[in-house]
Chain A
């Protein structure tokens, strides 16, 4: 057992290694409707400008602060991400490069023509034109960059009255003086002198003291900011999927008849991952003060959690390694996607639309519906696994096929109950806040279609239409309904009342995922037919 404890501790220790950040990161800033640590602001800003959360290994806060105090240094750095080929052509930029300096862009002679083109596309009323989207992105990049350089983005001091924080150009009195001291200290700190770092930290502390004195009630408490800094540096969801991956490897290893201890280690690693996953979720909830299921990113994380949770329960009940592996794989897929596609899945902590605020039923219905998706996702993972048995030889793996189908059936039942309950709770919520139990809104309609799909599958099994192969193929095919309800309505249809979750992009990935699965099902079907013919 000692080994286990050591391993668990190691896992947790490794988390703090990455936590070295700028002395400025703990300053409070008001940005996009929320007061947050400068660290969060810088990461989110870098995400918009550069597409990643840090630039060439530099701390994002340090990097952006340079833009304020020494704009010339920053102007020649290539940190504007432009990927759209048509846009690069229009601006006559190098097509091979993806990153450009603000200088190259803002003084580009073709920029006005491009902007005129955008308003033309907008007037024509066409939605989702990739060039228009690219120009809009560039527009927001330029806007953000200008506000960073001119200082209007740096809203670091709370106002004496009202709620709009004061930005750098409007600083006055001792605050202004202290900010200059701080800027000077920053310049020498950049040179890399450790003594100067301490000076900078003192200057920061003094500035915070002065800013807080401006309005005690508006300036956030130190531990609130620290909590968010902790969340930013911890990367709980990344460590969660790493732990899940370790668990899968250990499980695979233990399946080949190795000692029980490896099996237990695998479970422990999986539980560690789930713990981190839960912890990250709890931190997000504490920071934003709401259940984190209000955008695509957050639901992806939540579904990943649910898949592991269900697979652990079923894995423990049925004592089959493949259940846990299926759940963990599905979860890893979700979490890696959430990590890798930040432009599609926005991980920043955003304020909510009015209709979503502080409502118990809202939270419950979204949590329940999305957790049902986790069950369906797990069923897909299990079906992926189960179809392998068909490929390897149906008659040899009769027992395994029966077992997998039984678990799939159970998982689908859980999913159907949760989805039905979630849709009804959604109706209750809609009735409560809009006076409409059911309004054929695309999001709710697609959730219903997914439910109907699985109901057809379960009833079809009773009718004898679907047996083992049918159940597996059905769980895979029906999951595309879930994908439509979960992702497609917001990213493809783009209509309806649930428009607060709208986004764009990622259709390629999703279609690949669906396409591969369809091919897999069809391929297995034909292999099976072939084998049947041969045996007859």
Chain B
């Protein structure tokens, strides 16, 4: 390889060959710089492919925010510093070079500050709702103690399993106030499949597995009535199936409905149709028996009936995420082992006391509430295409503010951006999603950027002009 080391590099430090000089000389080599640049490029490219094949969170946690990305970026910063030290004493022709390189360093420092101390999350509220919590991108395990009226947080810890997943033989352990919790397995993308098992606890509600069959449909589903619900319901297109403990708990809405009432070992039913207010038929039904409600030749068959049932979640591991998948962990606490999906909770007991274990995105308390008063979507004329979104929110002092696309709200140092929204099945907006941000590295990044642009511009143009002036 031919190398054209610049002459000024040699002349400056020729006398002293200390270790420091040697290190500087090595770190300031252009070849090392090129290798780092190429390395960053390759890693980033791999990141985009991972994002395309999996999802954004996977790419962020495995690549962009990984330890080796930070190592490479720190190495880049070190090389940039070394190169500037190596050029000492600086001359006027170094200005562009110094600006651009120190700009990059400031940008990297700013980025690190943002990553380390900044807040970047989302906040969701339905219209009329008040919220003070922001969900961050990091995941956490939290334990709440539940008593009659209040739940209190007793434990919380960061819980990332993507880059080093737990194994059966090598589980992740968390020492908590209610004893050690083991995370034995982690599925980054899993589909939940729920089933019900007989329960000894008579307080648990009933569940049944049924089949609906007609020339167009053949489906098998579970329906259950949970302890805290008045009745369980399954909406199946034009028909509705309801499971209840007493007839008083449920008033038919006026459509095709099959209302099942559980009284111990027996199961009775009432069938309603669109046309009639009174049930068109009623009777008792047992597991293995069928009935014909008279809707489009449908046959309803009870496959299994459990007077008291407890739910068990199972997760099927997927290679890649799809629209319905989420992460799931297998949790072991004392003699209880259960799967827990992301953004849901698990009941745990310690000394007869009920606790909830939550796994999901880290929740951050802003320290002040925001209330969503109104949410509106502007649409392109004569279409359903969204043109603009805006949320009207009320601050804690009663002030009303409008947040719209490109018009964020700045409040208590945080910035609230209109990010997204949710619609109900009728296409009416239901909830607004704001992106919430506090960025202590912002001005460093801006200043660094400015230096980079000025420096690059200076290097490309002014140096040439200076040269010309000197030549004259």
Contact = CB atoms under 8 A, between A and B. Distances in A.
Contacts of B322: 125
B456 A34 contact: no
B131 interface: no
B445 A437 contact: yes
Given A427-B449, A464-B4, A432 B460 contact: no
B114 interface: yes
A424 B453 contact: yes
B47 A459 contact: no
Interface centre among B4, B41, B387, B442 (most CB of A within 10 A): B41
B425 interface: no
Contacts of A442: 48, 51-52
Given A417-B453, A440-B60, 11 more contacts: A32-B380, A165-B381, A359-B406, A420-B452, A424-B449, A445-B44, A445-B48, A460-B30, A464-B5, A493-B49, A493-B51
A506 interface: no
A414 interface: yes
20 contacts: A33-B385, A34-B381, A351-B380, A354-B405, A355-B406, A357-B387, A414-B460, A417-B453, A433-B408, A435-B417, A440-B47, A442-B48, A445-B48, A456-B34, A459-B30, A460-B34, A462-B30, A463-B4, A493-B51, A494-B52
Interface in B399-428: 405-406, 408, 415, 417, 419
Nearest to A417: B456
A449 B385 CA distance: 33
Given A357-B388, A434-B419, A463-B3, A163 B382 contact: yes
A22 interface: no
Contacts of B408: 432-433, 435
A465 B38 CA distance: 14
Interface of A: 30, 32-35, 125, 155, 163-165, 351, 353-355, 357-359, 413-414, 416-417, 420-421, 424, 427-428, 431-438, 440, 442, 445-446, 448-449, 452-453, 455-456, 459-460, 462-465, 467, 481, 489, 493-496
Given A33-B380, A449-B41, A464 B48 contact: no
Contacts of B33: 459, 463
A461 B240 CA distance: 72
Interface of B: 1-5, 29-31, 33-34, 37-38, 40-41, 44-45, 47-49, 51-52, 56, 59-60, 64, 111, 114, 120, 322-323, 380-383, 385-389, 405-406, 408, 415, 417, 419, 435-437, 439, 442, 445-446, 449, 452-453, 456-457, 459-460
Given A452-B40, A493-B48, A463 B382 contact: no
Nearest to B404: A354
B316 to A, nearest CB: 14
A460 B32 CA distance: 10
Contacts of B2: 464, 467
Contacts of B44: 440, 445, 448-449, 452
Q: Which 6 A-B pairs have the closest CB atoms?
A: A33-B380, A435-B437, A463-B30, A452-B41, A164-B382, A163-B381
Nearest to B43: A449
Contacts of B446: 428
A465 B47 CA distance: 28
Given A354-B387, A437-B445, A449-B41, A493 B382 contact: no
B48 A427 contact: no
B460 A495 contact: no
Contacts of B40: 452
B427 to A, nearest CB: 15
Contacts of A428: 446, 449
A354 B41 contact: no
A430 to B, nearest CB: 10
B1 A465 contact: yes
B456 A446 contact: no
B456 A33 contact: no
A473 to B, nearest CB: 15
Given A435-B408, A437-B439, A462-B30, A446 B385 contact: no
A413 B460 CA distance: 7
Interface centre among B47, B51, B60 (most CB of A within 10 A): B51
B64 A440 contact: yes
Nearest to A424: B449
A435 B449 contact: no
Given A442-B51, A493-B49, A464 B41 contact: no
Nearest to B457: A417
B111 A438 contact: yes
A417 B387 CA distance: 34
A431 to B, nearest CB: 7
